[in-house]
Structure 1
Amino acid sequence: MPIAKTLKETTSVLRDVPPQNAFYFYRSIGAPTGAAARNLPDFVGVLSSIDIASIQFHTGRGDFENWLRMLGEDSLARQITGLNEKKLSGEQLRMRLVDVVKTRINQIQKRTT
């Protein structure tokens, strides 16, 4: 695969997706939090501060992984699936999610500098 294409694909996840493709956080079905992420930096920002009940709701449904796959972030989605399999909860779950997403953002940024 040409390097230019790879860079374009990886940097695109740092750019905003259209509102219809954003990740909208919920507490439960029919209970939106009002928070949304349109890119990976937004996503990690919301993960850092959103009510833990929202994180646990989406983790249990595989919602984070589905959104990341839509972005083309299959590897990151697999890492989050691995966290789910460890049955983490509460602040430990939040910290691990934030860590893996920040690590991915840093990898992308290093490729573009």
Structure 2
Amino acid sequence: MSLSPVKRLILETIWMLNKPVKPVEVADEVGLGFPTVMMHVIGLAKKGYVETVKKGYYVITVKGREVLGLPTVDGEKAKQILAYVPVEKSFHFYADIGKPLNIYAAGLRDFCDKIQKVDVTSIEFHLNRGDFEAWFTGLGDAELSRKTAFIKELELSGEELRRKLYEVVKNRCEELALIRQQLSSA
């Protein structure tokens, strides 16, 4: 099932925000008028791609994730993504080509901690080159890779970029930890 570009943008935005959202928040995020967004959200709900969790708040459904082409992550996959990696597979931060900062992240949670401390120019450098996306894909997290590509499209910089990247990675770590926990309690 293909979506119109506007419906896809709205659905991706709801997915990206990763929380129950009001259509007015989505409208602000995508730069469209509220009536337009509301009309598309209603259409997405009728198709089963979003659902209401409480009055006026929407979340993406499993069917919505599928139409965006997002892979399903089970407990084992979540465990693999959250695992520590050896130094040679760690993410190594650079200020520029040939200018290592001698800071590396040995896993997704470690990455989340390091991006709060590393110089923001390093974050800008790696984001613009697609390094974060490639590393997340290497960890097996295609969804986080796509979210990072989405952040790149926002053309953020400085502390605003750091905040957004941290928020997305932190939320993803929490989401994966819940999925992994369901595996161990099963």
TM-score (norm. length: structure 2): 0.57
Once residues 9 and 79 of structure 1 are traced to their aligned partners in structure 2, the CA distance between those partners, rounded to angstroms, is 18
Structure 1 unaligned residues grouped into runs of 5+:
none
Letter in 2 for 1:101: V
> Per-residue CA shift, 1:62-83, capped at 9, x if unaligned?
0000000001111111111011
Report runs of 4+ in structure 1 exceeding 2 Å deviation.
Answer: none
User: Which sits farther off after the overlay, 48-57 or 9-18?
Assistant: 9-18
Alignment partner, residue 111 of structure 2: 43
Alignment partner, residue 13 of structure 1: 81
User: Which sits farther off after the overlay, 92-101 or 103-112?
Assistant: 103-112
Q: Secondary structure at the match of 2:102?
A: strand
Question: Residue 22 of structure 1 is aligned with which of 90, 95, 104?
Answer: 90
Displacement of 1:109 after TM fit?
1.1
**Greater relative contact order (CA < 8 Å, ≥ 6 in sequence):** 1
> Per-residue CA shift, 1:71-110, capped at 9, x if unaligned?
1111111111011001000000000000000000000111
Displacement of 1:6 after TM fit?
2.4
> Per-residue CA shift, 1:12-40, capped at 9, x if unaligned?
22211121111000000111111101111
Structure with a larger share of its residues in helix: 1
Q: Secondary structure at the match of 1:49?
A: coil
Q: Which has the larger radius of gyration?
A: 2
TM-score (norm. length: structure 1): 0.92
